[in-house]
């Protein structure tokens, strides 16, 4: 029987029925059917959103704080618990934090990554990136262990090497990491049907990774209103 994801009030897909079996896979085989979530960039449905995102991408690529700040909401929500807003954004992208391993350049790269991803409109009409952020994980799953496979027909190998036997192919699925090693080229993962293997790190992105949202002002202008680095 096909396990169909449902959506919550915010438009995020409920993955409880799909990923819950993964919690048991360390102890016993599971029979859940795998689900694929191919990206569709809904920005194409709204020319104003498309233009606003293109302008933000250009500002980030040019490291243009002036244009970026001008395109941010006055109450911009950021990763930390600070006051938010354009001024904190400017500080985040110019001042190194001695208490953090994340550099200023890394923050720019995280913002660029979020804006480069396809996105979707939530129930409140905000535009969120990346598209897989709409997938709602079960509460008992640690988001740090859940990753999204960003490619189509990615080879799942039996051993952590390019020449390893191909077990199956994976396309736009949520997987769990097993014994995650951030330095490894091939990383051990578990599919929702219990299959174990290794995927190349270039096709894995954390479900709790960088994300951003655009919202429309009362004047009808689309602005950057949320940015979370995921760290």
Give whole-number Cα distances, 75 to 122, 171, 228, in Å: 19, 37, 14
Please report, for the chain, the start and end positions of each structural domain, with discontinuous segments joined by +: 44-132+209-228, 140-206
SS3 219: coil
Average model confidence (pLDDT) across the chain: 85
Q: Is 180 left (phi over 0), alpha (psi -120 to 50) or beta?
A: beta
In CATH terms, the superfamily for domain 140-206 is: SH3 Domains (2.30.30.40)
Do 163 and 134 contact (CB within 8 A), yes or no? no
pLDDT at 99: 65
Q: Are 22 and 184 in contact (CB under 8 A)?
A: no
The answer to whether the CB of 185 falls within 8 A of the CB of 167 is: no
Q: 104-116 and 47-61 are packed helices; what angle lies between their axes, rounded to 10 degrees?
A: 160
> pLDDT digit string (tens) for 95-119?
887 666 778 999 999 999 999 999 9
Would you tell me how many other CB atoms lie within 10 Å of the CB of residue 186?
18
Cα(19)–Cα(82) distance, integer angstroms = 33
Which tens digits make up the pLDDT trace of 35-89?
Answer: 999 999 999 999 999 999 999 999 999 999 999 999 999 999 996 566 789 999 9
Q: Which CATH number fits domain 44-132+209-228: 3.10.450, 1.20.1070, 3.40.50, 3.90.25?
A: 3.10.450
Collapsing DSSP states into helix, strand and coil, what is residue 83?
A: coil
Among the listed ranges 15-29, 79-93, 137-151, which one has the minimum average pLDDT value?
15-29
Overall average pLDDT of the 7-12 stretch: 51
Structural contact between residues 148 and 205, judged by C-beta atoms closer than 8 angstroms: yes
Which residue from 56, 47, 38 is spatially nearest to 213, judged by alpha carbons?
56
Query: So what's the pLDDT on residue 28?
Result: 39
Is the model's pLDDT at 32 over the cut of 80?
no
Q: pLDDT tens-digit profile of 154-202?
A: 999 999 999 999 999 999 999 998 876 778 999 999 999 999 999 999 9
Judge whether residue 145 has pLDDT over 80: yes
Alpha-helical (H) ranges within the chain are 16-19, 47-61, 65-70, 85-92, 104-116
Q: What is the pLDDT of residue 24?
A: 40
What pLDDT is attached to residue 81?
Answer: 64
Q: pTM of the prediction? A: 0.82
């Amino acid at each position: 029987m096909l396990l169909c994801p449902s959506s919550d009030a915010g438009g995020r897909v409920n993955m409880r029925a799909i990923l819950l079996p993964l919690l048991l896979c360390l102890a016993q085989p599971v029979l859940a059917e795998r689900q694929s979530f191919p990206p569709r960039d809904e920005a194409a449905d709204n020319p104003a959103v498309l233009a606003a995102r293109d302008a933000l991408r250009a500002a980030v690529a040019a490291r243009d704080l002036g244009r970026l700040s001008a395109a941010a909401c006055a109450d911009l929500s950021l990763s930390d618990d600070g006051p938010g807003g354009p001024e904190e954004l400017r500080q985040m992208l110019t001042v190194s934090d001695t208490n953090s391993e994340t550099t200023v350049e890394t923050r720019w790269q995280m913002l660029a990554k979020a804006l480069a991803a396809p996105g979707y409109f939530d129930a409140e009409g905000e535009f969120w990136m990346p598209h897989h952020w709409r997938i709602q994980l079960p509460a008992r799953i640690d988001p740090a262990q859940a990753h999204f496979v960003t490619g189509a027909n990615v080879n799942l190998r039996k051993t952590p090497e390019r020449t390893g036997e191909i077990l199956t192919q994976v396309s736009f699925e949520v997987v769990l990491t097993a014994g995650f090693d951030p330095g490894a080229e091939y990383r051990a993962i578990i599919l929702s049907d219990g299959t174990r293997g290794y995927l190349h790190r270039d096709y894995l992105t954390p479900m709790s990774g960088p994300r951003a949202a655009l919202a429309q002002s009362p004047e009808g202008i689309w602005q950057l209103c949320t940015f979370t680095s995921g760290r």
